[in-house]
Amino acid sequence: MDILLILCASIVAYLLGSIPTAVWYSKFRHGIDIREHGSGNAGATNTFRVLGKKAGSIVMSVDILKGFLATSLAWVLEFYEIIAPYDEFYIYKMIFYKLIFGSLAIVGHIFPIFANFKGGKGVATLLGMMLAVHHTATLLCVGVFVIVLFSFRYVSLGSLLATLSFPLLLLSPRFRPEDPIVIVFGFLMFTIVALTHQKNIIRLLQGEESRANIRIKRRH
Protein backbone atom coordinates (compact mmCIF):
# COMPACT_ATOMS: atom_id res chain seq x y z
CA MET A 1 0.00 0.00 0.00
CA ASP A 2 2.81 2.40 0.93
CA ILE A 3 4.71 1.75 -2.29
CA LEU A 4 1.54 2.16 -4.36
CA LEU A 5 0.75 5.52 -2.76
CA ILE A 6 4.31 6.76 -3.26
CA LEU A 7 4.14 5.66 -6.90
CA CYS A 8 0.81 7.44 -7.39
CA ALA A 9 2.16 10.63 -5.79
CA SER A 10 5.21 10.45 -8.07
CA ILE A 11 3.02 10.14 -11.16
CA VAL A 12 0.83 13.03 -10.01
CA ALA A 13 3.94 15.16 -9.43
CA TYR A 14 5.16 14.50 -12.98
CA LEU A 15 1.71 15.16 -14.46
CA LEU A 16 1.43 18.44 -12.55
CA GLY A 17 4.78 19.50 -13.98
CA SER A 18 3.68 18.36 -17.43
CA ILE A 19 0.85 20.90 -17.60
CA PRO A 20 2.10 23.01 -20.54
CA THR A 21 0.83 26.34 -19.22
CA ALA A 22 2.42 28.51 -21.89
CA VAL A 23 1.31 26.24 -24.74
CA TRP A 24 -2.28 25.89 -23.58
CA TYR A 25 -2.65 29.55 -22.67
CA SER A 26 -1.24 30.77 -25.98
CA LYS A 27 -3.47 28.39 -27.96
CA PHE A 28 -6.75 28.96 -26.13
CA ARG A 29 -6.32 32.65 -25.37
CA HIS A 30 -4.42 33.90 -28.42
CA GLY A 31 -4.82 31.17 -31.03
CA ILE A 32 -1.08 30.55 -31.44
CA ASP A 33 1.48 28.01 -30.32
CA ILE A 34 4.03 29.89 -28.25
CA ARG A 35 6.70 27.42 -29.40
CA GLU A 36 6.40 28.82 -32.92
CA HIS A 37 7.17 32.38 -31.84
CA GLY A 38 9.96 34.29 -30.14
CA SER A 39 12.64 31.98 -28.82
CA GLY A 40 10.45 28.93 -29.41
CA ASN A 41 10.56 28.07 -25.72
CA ALA A 42 7.36 27.01 -23.93
CA GLY A 43 8.00 29.01 -20.78
CA ALA A 44 7.08 32.21 -18.98
CA THR A 45 9.99 34.25 -20.36
CA ASN A 46 9.02 33.66 -23.98
CA THR A 47 5.37 34.29 -23.08
CA PHE A 48 6.33 37.66 -21.62
CA ARG A 49 8.29 38.44 -24.77
CA VAL A 50 5.60 37.38 -27.26
CA LEU A 51 2.27 37.98 -25.51
CA GLY A 52 3.06 40.61 -22.91
CA LYS A 53 3.00 41.13 -19.15
CA LYS A 54 -0.45 39.78 -18.37
CA ALA A 55 0.04 36.51 -20.24
CA GLY A 56 3.57 36.09 -18.92
CA SER A 57 2.49 36.72 -15.33
CA ILE A 58 -0.32 34.15 -15.58
CA VAL A 59 1.95 31.50 -17.10
CA MET A 60 4.71 32.15 -14.57
CA SER A 61 2.31 32.02 -11.61
CA VAL A 62 0.82 28.69 -12.72
CA ASP A 63 4.26 27.21 -13.38
CA ILE A 64 5.41 28.24 -9.89
CA LEU A 65 2.25 26.75 -8.42
CA LYS A 66 2.91 23.47 -10.25
CA GLY A 67 6.26 23.09 -8.57
CA PHE A 68 4.93 24.08 -5.16
CA LEU A 69 1.97 21.69 -5.25
CA ALA A 70 4.01 18.78 -6.59
CA THR A 71 6.64 19.24 -3.86
CA SER A 72 3.93 19.53 -1.21
CA LEU A 73 2.65 16.05 -2.11
CA ALA A 74 5.08 14.89 0.57
CA TRP A 75 2.44 16.02 3.08
CA VAL A 76 0.07 13.44 1.62
CA LEU A 77 2.53 10.76 2.70
CA GLU A 78 2.51 12.22 6.18
CA PHE A 79 -1.30 12.21 6.21
CA TYR A 80 -1.29 8.49 5.52
CA GLU A 81 1.58 8.06 8.03
CA ILE A 82 4.01 6.76 5.44
CA ILE A 83 6.15 9.54 6.87
CA ALA A 84 5.29 9.37 10.56
CA PRO A 85 5.76 12.55 12.65
CA TYR A 86 7.06 10.45 15.55
CA ASP A 87 9.74 8.83 13.36
CA GLU A 88 13.25 9.95 14.36
CA PHE A 89 14.05 10.31 10.64
CA TYR A 90 10.88 12.29 9.93
CA ILE A 91 12.64 15.48 8.76
CA TYR A 92 15.02 13.61 6.48
CA LYS A 93 12.23 11.57 4.92
CA MET A 94 10.06 14.63 4.40
CA ILE A 95 12.86 16.52 2.67
CA PHE A 96 13.76 13.47 0.60
CA TYR A 97 10.25 13.06 -0.77
CA LYS A 98 9.86 16.80 -1.33
CA LEU A 99 12.99 16.74 -3.47
CA ILE A 100 11.80 13.65 -5.34
CA PHE A 101 8.34 15.02 -6.12
CA GLY A 102 9.64 18.49 -6.95
CA SER A 103 12.24 17.03 -9.30
CA LEU A 104 9.58 15.01 -11.09
CA ALA A 105 7.57 18.19 -11.61
CA ILE A 106 10.61 19.89 -13.14
CA VAL A 107 11.19 16.90 -15.43
CA GLY A 108 7.53 17.12 -16.39
CA HIS A 109 7.86 20.80 -17.22
CA ILE A 110 10.93 20.24 -19.39
CA PHE A 111 9.52 17.06 -20.98
CA PRO A 112 5.71 17.40 -20.74
CA ILE A 113 3.68 14.39 -21.78
CA PHE A 114 0.82 16.73 -22.71
CA ALA A 115 2.92 18.69 -25.23
CA ASN A 116 4.94 16.06 -27.09
CA PHE A 117 7.71 16.26 -24.49
CA LYS A 118 8.72 19.74 -25.67
CA GLY A 119 8.47 22.10 -22.73
CA GLY A 120 10.21 24.99 -21.03
CA LYS A 121 13.42 25.29 -19.05
CA GLY A 122 11.88 24.63 -15.66
CA VAL A 123 13.00 27.75 -13.79
CA ALA A 124 9.54 28.85 -12.61
CA THR A 125 8.64 25.30 -11.58
CA LEU A 126 11.96 25.05 -9.74
CA LEU A 127 11.09 28.28 -7.94
CA GLY A 128 7.83 26.74 -6.72
CA MET A 129 9.71 23.71 -5.52
CA MET A 130 12.32 25.81 -3.71
CA LEU A 131 9.56 27.76 -1.95
CA ALA A 132 8.16 24.51 -0.61
CA VAL A 133 11.59 23.32 0.54
CA HIS A 134 13.15 26.50 2.01
CA HIS A 135 11.03 29.62 1.48
CA THR A 136 13.33 32.09 3.30
CA ALA A 137 16.39 31.39 1.16
CA THR A 138 14.20 31.22 -1.94
CA LEU A 139 12.76 34.69 -1.39
CA LEU A 140 16.30 36.06 -1.19
CA CYS A 141 17.06 34.28 -4.47
CA VAL A 142 14.05 36.03 -6.01
CA GLY A 143 15.61 39.28 -4.84
CA VAL A 144 18.85 38.34 -6.61
CA PHE A 145 16.90 37.67 -9.81
CA VAL A 146 15.09 41.01 -9.64
CA ILE A 147 18.30 42.96 -9.00
CA VAL A 148 20.12 41.26 -11.90
CA LEU A 149 17.13 41.68 -14.22
CA PHE A 150 16.73 45.40 -13.58
CA SER A 151 20.50 45.99 -13.58
CA PHE A 152 21.40 44.11 -16.77
CA ARG A 153 18.00 43.19 -18.28
CA TYR A 154 19.09 39.60 -18.90
CA VAL A 155 16.45 37.09 -17.76
CA SER A 156 18.79 34.16 -18.36
CA LEU A 157 21.59 35.69 -16.26
CA GLY A 158 19.13 36.46 -13.49
CA SER A 159 17.81 32.90 -13.53
CA LEU A 160 21.30 31.40 -13.42
CA LEU A 161 22.58 33.61 -10.60
CA ALA A 162 19.37 33.24 -8.58
CA THR A 163 19.54 29.44 -8.87
CA LEU A 164 23.20 29.43 -7.85
CA SER A 165 22.41 31.68 -4.89
CA PHE A 166 20.15 29.02 -3.36
CA PRO A 167 22.81 26.43 -2.43
CA LEU A 168 25.32 29.17 -1.61
CA LEU A 169 22.91 30.71 0.90
CA LEU A 170 22.29 27.29 2.43
CA LEU A 171 26.02 26.95 3.11
CA SER A 172 25.80 29.82 5.62
CA PRO A 173 24.92 28.95 9.25
CA ARG A 174 21.88 31.23 9.17
CA PHE A 175 20.11 29.32 6.37
CA ARG A 176 21.70 25.88 6.69
CA PRO A 177 18.99 23.21 6.35
CA GLU A 178 18.60 20.32 8.77
CA ASP A 179 19.42 17.89 5.98
CA PRO A 180 22.59 18.73 3.97
CA ILE A 181 21.17 16.87 0.96
CA VAL A 182 19.26 20.07 0.17
CA ILE A 183 22.57 21.85 -0.44
CA VAL A 184 23.78 19.09 -2.75
CA PHE A 185 20.44 19.19 -4.52
CA GLY A 186 20.74 22.97 -4.92
CA PHE A 187 24.02 22.66 -6.79
CA LEU A 188 22.57 19.83 -8.88
CA MET A 189 19.60 22.00 -9.85
CA PHE A 190 21.96 24.83 -10.80
CA THR A 191 23.81 22.39 -13.07
CA ILE A 192 20.55 21.37 -14.73
CA VAL A 193 19.46 24.98 -15.18
CA ALA A 194 22.86 25.79 -16.69
CA LEU A 195 22.48 22.88 -19.10
CA THR A 196 19.03 24.05 -20.20
CA HIS A 197 20.47 27.54 -20.70
CA GLN A 198 23.53 26.51 -22.72
CA LYS A 199 22.56 28.61 -25.73
CA ASN A 200 21.82 31.58 -23.50
CA ILE A 201 25.21 31.26 -21.81
CA ILE A 202 26.96 31.21 -25.18
CA ARG A 203 25.03 34.29 -26.30
CA LEU A 204 25.86 36.04 -23.01
CA LEU A 205 29.58 35.35 -23.49
CA GLN A 206 29.37 36.58 -27.08
CA GLY A 207 27.37 39.65 -26.12
CA GLU A 208 24.44 38.55 -28.28
CA GLU A 209 21.84 37.68 -25.61
CA SER A 210 18.54 39.53 -25.96
CA ARG A 211 17.80 42.01 -23.21
CA ALA A 212 14.38 42.05 -21.58
CA ASN A 213 12.20 45.01 -22.39
CA ILE A 214 10.85 46.05 -19.01
CA ARG A 215 8.18 48.09 -20.74
CA ILE A 216 6.63 45.32 -22.80
CA LYS A 217 3.72 46.38 -24.96
CA ARG A 218 0.69 44.17 -25.04
CA ARG A 219 -0.14 42.50 -28.28
CA HIS A 220 -3.81 42.70 -29.27
19-23, 94-98, 183-187, 211-215: the lowest-pLDDT one: 211-215
In this prediction, residue 34 carries a pLDDT of 95
Average pLDDT over residues 124-152: 96
Contacts of 118 (CB under 8 A, 6+ apart): 35, 42, 111, 112
In this prediction, residue 218 carries a pLDDT of 45
How far apart are alpha carbons 198 and 186 in whole angstroms?
18
Q: Check residue 211 and give left, alpha or beta (phi > 0: left; psi -120 to 50: alpha).
A: beta
Average pLDDT over residues 67-84: 94
pLDDT tens by residue, 180-194: 999 999 999 999 999
User: pTM to 2 decimals?
Assistant: 0.91
In this prediction, residue 15 carries a pLDDT of 98
Contacts of 165 (CB under 8 A, 6+ apart): 140, 141, 144
